[in-house]
């Protein structure tokens, strides 16, 4: 067993239960260094992606995405925490599904907090912290790569942060955070950069007017396009065209 401490995610939609579990575990498990809480399945996925917790207490029945959905998605991208399922369902098929997707323990509600603590301790003894920062980094880079790929293919469309986030399966807020953390710029700045670079290709290769190029790369307002272009390239579209004749 490792002497290292672990981080824990409590994914439970009942606020009272969630708060009680966090308080009890904080006071009685000194090997747990950090506790994150999620009120629904989507929040759980976001926390898994962002913080990479070692262990997860997971309720099967949650809003937006079920516990099974959380396990499937996290498993698919290779960052499923060591999972203890807490469920009000005693049907065999639910336990079977949970175990199939990687659950290490399956506890039935109502469950004593002492039993939950024993389950966390058992998982801790069997599975020391993963320390897979490299894997987490690869997953985050994959999200950004997929986002950029989608933006490069759909830049002429009316793209929004929400549209791109939905396409790659994460929340808009988290995608915005990834852009700033990974690329050092916001979503709009990145989209403008892509569009301006495509506009440059049009200016060099053909005789389209500025408003036609603007429309071609996703802008419906020529003045706004010119403002964005000058901010990005340090010169107006007409100046760029003069300096880069084919």
Give dist(CA 141, CA 160) in Å, integer: 20
Give dist(CA 22, CA 81) in Å, integer: 17
User: Which domains are delineated in the chain?
Assistant: 6-131 (3.40.50.2300), 134-243 (1.10.10.60)
Residue reference for tokens 């396409």: 167
Q: DSSP of 107-145, one letter per residue?
A: EESS--HHHHHHHHHHHHHHS-----HHHHHHHHHHHHH
Average pLDDT for 7-31: 94
DSSP annotation of 131 reads -
Q: Give the angle 86-104-35 at the CA atoms, nearest 5°.
A: 60
Give dist(CA 117, CA 138) in Å, integer: 32
Alpha-carbon separation of residue 211 from 98, 159, 179, 224, 245 (angstroms): 56, 19, 29, 10, 18
Residues composing the chain = 246
Q: What are the tens digits of pLDDT across the range 166-221?
A: 998 888 888 898 888 878 889 999 999 999 999 998 998 777 899 999 999 999 99
How confident is the model at residue 213, as a pLDDT? Answer: 96
Residue reference for tokens 């009685």: 28
How confident is the model at residue 131, as a pLDDT? Answer: 52
Q: What are the tens digits of pLDDT across the range 156-167?
A: 999 999 999 999
| H-helix or E-strand spanning residue 58 | strand 55-59
Q: Partners of 108 in the beta sheet?
A: 87
Q: What are the tens digits of pLDDT across the range 127-143?
A: 755 555 556 666 777 88
Weakest-pLDDT range from 68-72, 121-125, 151-155: 121-125
Give dist(CA 164, CA 162) in Å, integer: 6
Q: Does the CA dihedral 112-118-122-127 come out positive or negative? A: positive
Q: Is the pLDDT of residue 23 over 70?
A: yes
- Region of 57 on the Ramachandran plot (φ > 0 left; ψ -120 to 50 alpha; else beta): beta
How confident is the model at residue 44, as a pLDDT? Answer: 95
Pair 105, 119: CB distance under 8 Å: yes
How confident is the model at residue 169, as a pLDDT? Answer: 83
Give dist(CA 52, CA 8) in Å, integer: 9
For residue 195, report the phi and psi dihedrals to the nearest 5 degrees.
Answer: -65, -40
For residue 236, report the phi and psi dihedrals to the nearest 5 degrees.
Answer: -75, 165
How confident is the model at residue 130, as a pLDDT? Answer: 54
Q: What are the tens digits of pLDDT across the range 85-141?
A: 998 876 667 777 788 888 888 888 888 888 999 999 988 887 755 555 556 666 777
């Amino acid at each position: 067993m490792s002497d290292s401490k672990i981080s824990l995610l409590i994914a439970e939609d009942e606020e009272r239960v969630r708060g009680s579990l966090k308080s009890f575990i904080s006071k009685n498990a000194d090997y747990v260094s950090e506790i994150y809480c999620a009120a629904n399945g989507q929040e759980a996925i976001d926390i898994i992606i962002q913080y990479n917790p070692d262990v997860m207490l997971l309720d099967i029945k949650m809003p937006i995405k079920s516990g099974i959905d959380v396990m499937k998605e996290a498993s698919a991208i290779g960052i499923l925490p060591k999972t203890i399922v807490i469920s009000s369902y005693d049907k065999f098929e639910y336990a079977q599904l949970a175990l199939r997707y990687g659950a290490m323990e399956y506890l039935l509600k109502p469950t004593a907090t002492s039993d939950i603590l024993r389950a966390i301790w058992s998982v801790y003894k069997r599975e020391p912290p993963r320390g897979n920062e490299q894997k987490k980094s690869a997953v985050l880079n994959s999200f950004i790569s997929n986002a950029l790929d989608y933006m490069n293919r759909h830049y002429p469309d009316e793209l929004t942060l929400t549209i791109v986030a939905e396409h790659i399966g994460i929340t808009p807020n988290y995608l915005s955070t990834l852009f700033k953390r990974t690329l050092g710029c916001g979503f709009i700045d990145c989209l403008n950069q892509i569009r301006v670079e495509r506009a440059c290709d049009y200016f060099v290769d053909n005789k389209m007017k500025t408003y036609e190029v603007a429309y071609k790369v996703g802008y419906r307002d020529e003045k706004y396009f010119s403002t964005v272009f000058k901010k990005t390239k340090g010169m107006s579209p007409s100046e760029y065209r003069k300096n880069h004749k084919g």
